[in-house]
Amino acid sequence: MTGRGLNRIQSPTIDWVAILVYLALVVIGWFNIFAAVHDDAGLSSFSISSRYGMQLIWMGITMCVAVVIMLLDERFYHMFAYPAYFIGVGVLLLVLIAGKEVNGAKAWIEISPSLSLQPGEFAKFTTALAVARYMSRYSFSITDFRELVSLAVIMGIPPIIIVLQKDAGSALVYTSFLLMLYREGLNGWVPVFFFAFVALFFTSIVMEPLTVLILIILACVIGESVRNGFWKQKIIYLAALALATIIIYFILSLITGGQVSVYLILLICSILSLVAVVVYAYRKRLRNVYMFVALFLVSIIFAPSVDYVFDNIVQPHQRDRILVVVSDEVDLKKEGYNYNQSLIAIGSGGFAGKGFLQGTQTQFNFVPEQSTDFIFCTVGEEWGFLGSTIVVSLFCILILRLMKMGERQRDPFGRVYCYSVAGIFFMHTAINIGMTIGIVPVIGIPLPFFSYGGSSFLAFSILFFVALRLDAGKRELMRT
């Protein structure tokens, strides 16, 4: 046997790069929890009852669980997927009935006076397994509408229950499955439309209806132009429609003395747009243009409904959190306090930070929830831009390694699962860091391996190690 062949057989099957990145994040995360909650006495005595002490206990429990995960046969996770999913949904329903309420969300099960678990964190794992099991069926096709509906039901039940628990932040994380679906062949316009409607929601809150209407027209026409490549005709159409909108607006303003009905303008412009695009599509024989017509009409209906949803359905504290990001008229001593203190803490860190345990904003507890949702403020203040870049880079490497694990899989189950985990980690990291630097509303979801909490730490670790085990199993097969 050649030396090259011997080396291939003796090469390790575990992705050690991913392991090292995971351990680095865990260790750095623990030191930041220590920095966020310690007091002067904590420097000379170590208390197991403290948050950093409890996190160490959870780290020890997690390491034991990780060993068990790596020892189990990879086929176990395929067989266990559906039972785990139904158990997860059942526990979520149990929480809804008899759960413990914390910070307005009824999302916890109290094991003892000092120990509570959040089943919603583990439901992401069970849902990822169930989705992977369903999509790995031989007959599954992502282009089959009925299959997509069934898949949507599987992915949709847990977040619906979590929303009923008044924990909308955790429910939002389930949109991360879009990354996996896109990888598996979902039409690329689906996630584009999803994020477009999210942008439309926030735009409709802060802009005048006429401005929103023009933006909708712009988005639809530019989108159609990109898809079909007929720029000249689209620009003429856009200019004509925009001009017609402005003329109609001013004519109605003169007739009504400034009391213009927004809905009347929307109706007239949508009819003009529909007629123009249908005529254009008929002449050019373009079928896919009707998709943009549908999108435009849905947007026209959606935009005026945002105010009603925002005022009557969105909870008051959620409205405040959204307005903090999208509006300049925010009281920094009330609803904008968290946002303002977070920016001060991160900004004060400068390039290299103030040093370990030297952060004034975190040491004097100016930043609320600084060991959980706002743990990244400690990173920014004590380690500065340099330390924050290192932490973000580690998360990026971990997510990329998970995606690489997915690409190494020979069967859809492992690939779908690894990409689902990558999406979950990406969503948590992006939202958590985004809300601490003021570009995302405060949602209240943990930063993986950094935020204090046994449920989240254990759940994230289980997600990671099962992906690692599936990857190791396939690499073992590749060696034989």
205, 211 contact by CB (below 8 A): no
Per-residue pLDDT at 185 exceeds 50: yes
Residue that wins the pLDDT comparison between 82 and 444? 82
Residue that wins the pLDDT comparison between 286 and 384? 384
Q: Are residues 21 and 147 in the same domain?
A: yes
pLDDT mean across residues, the chain: 79
pLDDT above 70 coverage of the chain, percent = 70
Q: Are residues 289 and 183 in the same domain?
A: no
Q: Are residues 332 and 185 in the same domain?
A: yes
pLDDT at 219: 65
Reported as a pLDDT band with limits 50, 70 and 90, residue 456 is: very high
**Which residues make Cβ contacts (< 8 Å) with residue 457, sequence separation at least 6?**
55, 58, 59, 62, 449
234, 220 contact by CB (below 8 A): no
Domain assignment of residue 250, yes or no: yes
Per-residue pLDDT at 2 exceeds 90: no
Q: Which of 314, 346, 376 is the last residue of a domain?
A: 314
Q: Are residues 214 and 85 in the same domain?
A: no
pLDDT at 225: 55
Domain assignment of residue 72, yes or no: yes
pLDDT at 405: 93
The string of pLDDT tens digits covering residues 148-164 is 899 999 999 999 999 88
Domain assignment of residue 199, yes or no: no
Q: Are residues 30 and 139 in the same domain?
A: yes
Per-residue pLDDT at 107 exceeds 50: yes
Per-residue pLDDT at 5 exceeds 50: no
Q: Are residues 453 and 356 in the same domain?
A: yes
What is the number of domains present in the chain? 2
Q: Which of 288, 314, 340 is the last residue of a domain?
A: 314
CA 232 to chain centre: 38
Q: Are residues 293 and 339 in the same domain?
A: no
pLDDT at 172: 86
Query: Residue 176 CB: number of other CB atoms within 10 A?
Result: 22
Q: Are residues 224 and 102 in the same domain?
A: no
pLDDT at 9: 38
CA distance 247 to 267: 14
Q: Which residues pair with 101 in a beta bridge?
A: 106
The string of pLDDT tens digits covering residues 193-206 is 777 777 777 777 66
Cβ neighbourhood burial of 93 (10 Å; 0-12, 13-18, 19+) = middle
DSSP letter, residue 117: E
Domain assignment of residue 202, yes or no: no
Domain assignment of residue 201, yes or no: no
Q: Are residues 30 and 155 in the same domain?
A: yes
Written as one letter, the residue type at 430 is: A
Per-residue pLDDT at 475 exceeds 80: no
Q: Are residues 169 and 213 in the same domain?
A: no
Domain assignment of residue 88, yes or no: yes
Q: Starting at the earlier edge strand, list the strands of the sheet with 100-102.
A: 100-102, 105-112, 115-117
Q: Which domain holds residue 217?
A: 207-314
Q: Kindly report each contact of residues 50-54 with a partner whose C-beta sits within 8 Å and lies 24 or more positions away, as own/partner.
A: 51/371, 51/452, 54/452, 54/454
Q: Which residues pair with 108 in a beta bridge?
A: 100
Range with lowest mean pLDDT among 55-69, 102-116, 383-397: 102-116
Per-residue pLDDT at 368 exceeds 80: no
Q: Are residues 308 and 347 in the same domain?
A: no
Range with lowest mean pLDDT among 285-294, 344-353, 437-446: 285-294
Torsion angle in degrees (nearest 10) through CA of 414, 415, 416, 417: 50
Domain assignment of residue 98, yes or no: yes
Reported as a pLDDT band with limits 50, 70 and 90, residue 282 is: low
What is the reported pTM?
Answer: 0.81
Give the sign of the dihedral formed by CA 395, CA 400, CA 405, CA 409. positive
Domain assignment of residue 450, yes or no: yes
Of the candidates 297, 446, 471, the one whose C-alpha atom is nearest the C-alpha of residue 375 is: 446
pLDDT at 46: 62
pLDDT at 419: 95
Q: Are residues 21 and 114 in the same domain?
A: yes
Q: Which of 314, 339, 361 is the last residue of a domain?
A: 314
Per-residue pLDDT at 8 exceeds 50: no
Mean pLDDT across 26-35: 92
Mean pLDDT across 398-417: 92
